[in-house]
């Protein structure tokens, strides 16, 4: 079946602009995760959603970052007033339930000029 | 907090050589441990995992043993192939009971296998 998909695959934006990144999880997966991978760094956990529970936002780096998920489907990660240090690959993953294997999407490569 | 340290790359080996990629971790509880692999142009894929001490995860000829006494989860393969060229990430997930379920990753090791 289809895997996790993300769009856009690449995004170039100017400093100060807002960007929205999209993730389509595997159908039926109740848990969804966002990670960030900056150049030369490991993946940083940002936020996760489980069903209709309140999301765990413990990894969000600042209040410019927010994420939403509609039910158990699509999620969007929004970065407001982008800064150059936001340049990174943003990865989304989903799993059938919490604490099960996470399946990753191909990522969105964000470049803030 | 939790952390994962893995050897810096790139690691360059000849085909059929023995591979070890070191990974050590710091965690307050009893984490599950993972190796993920990212082949060129592809997304991250789970390679293997171990959920408790002394467990051995294995897949595609790769193995790693969860060593609680040394807080390590080194990845090994007896005979590497050119197709194993990829970036390998060690990761952990700790069950704190509070619901946080994000993985903690190492920085990744770029493996290059030469024919």
Instruction: Kindly determine whether residue B101 and residue A50, on different chains, have CB atoms separated by under 8 Å.
Output: yes
Instruction: Kindly determine whether residue A99 and residue B101, on different chains, have CB atoms separated by under 8 Å.
Output: yes
Whether residue B98 is predicted with pLDDT greater than 70 in this model: the reply is: no
Residue B46 with chain A: CB contacts under 8 Å: 101-103
Instruction: Kindly determine whether residue A3 and residue B43, on different chains, have CB atoms separated by under 8 Å.
Output: yes
Top residue of A25, A31, A45 to mutate, by most chain B CBs within 10 Å, is: A45
User: What's the whole-number average pLDDT of chain A?
Assistant: 91
B96 confidence band (pLDDT: 50, 70, 90): low
CA B54 to chain centre: 15
Q: Are A84 and A15 in contact (CB under 8 A)?
A: yes
B100 confidence band (pLDDT: 50, 70, 90): low
Query: What 3 state SS string does chain B have?
Result: CCEEEECCCCEEEECCCCEEECEEEECCCCCEEEEEEECCCCCCEEEEEECCCCCEEEECCEEEECECCCCECCEEECCCCHHHCEEEEEEEECCCCCCCCCCEECCCEEEEEEC
Q: pLDDT tens for residues A12-32?
A: 999 999 999 999 999 999 999
B70 confidence band (pLDDT: 50, 70, 90): very high
What's residue B57's pLDDT? 97
Which tokens is A40 given?
A: 């030369």
B2 confidence band (pLDDT: 50, 70, 90): confident
User: What's the whole-number average pLDDT of chain B?
Assistant: 91
Alpha helices in chain A (DSSP H): none
Q: Are B73 and B51 in contact (CB under 8 A)?
A: no
What distance in Å separates residue A16's CA from the closest CA in chain B? 28
Whether residue B56 is predicted with pLDDT greater than 70 in this model: the reply is: yes
B13 confidence band (pLDDT: 50, 70, 90): very high
What's residue A57's pLDDT? 79
Cα Dmax for chain B: 48
Q: pLDDT tens for residues A58-75?
A: 788 899 999 999 878 899
Residues of A within an 8 Å Cβ radius of B: 3-4, 31, 33, 35, 40-46, 48, 50, 53, 56, 58-59, 91, 93, 98-99, 101-107
Instruction: Kindly determine whether residue B107 and residue A53, on different chains, have CB atoms separated by under 8 Å.
Output: no
């Amino acid at each position: 079946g289809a895997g996790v998909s993300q769009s856009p695959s690449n995004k170039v934006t100017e400093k100060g602009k807002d960007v929205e990144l999209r993730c389509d999880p595997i159908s039926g997966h109740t848990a969804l995760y966002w990670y960030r991978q900056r150049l030369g760094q490991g993946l940083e956990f940002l936020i996760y959603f489980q069903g209709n529970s309140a999301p765990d936002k413990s990894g969000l780096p600042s209040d410019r970052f927010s994420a939403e998920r509609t039910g158990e489907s699509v999620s969007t990660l929004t970065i407001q007033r982008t800064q150059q240090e936001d340049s990174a690959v943003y990865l989304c993953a989903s799993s059938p339930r919490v604490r099960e294997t996470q399946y990753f999407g191909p990522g969105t490569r964000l470049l803030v000029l | 907090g939790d952390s994962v340290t893995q050897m810096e790359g790139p690691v360059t080996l000849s085909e059929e050589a023995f591979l070890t990629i070191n990974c050590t971790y710091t965690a307050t509880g009893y984490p599950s441990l993972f190796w993920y692999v990212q082949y060129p142009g592809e997304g991250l894929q789970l390679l293997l995992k171990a959920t408790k001490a002394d467990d051995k995860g294995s897949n595609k000829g790769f193995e790693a043993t969860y060593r609680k006494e040394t807080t390590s989860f080194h990845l090994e393969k007896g005979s590497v192939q050119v197709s194993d060229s990829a970036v390998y990430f060690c990761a952990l997930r700790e069950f704190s009971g509070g619901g946080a379920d994000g993985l903690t990753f190492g920085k990744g090791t770029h493996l290059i296998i030469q024919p």
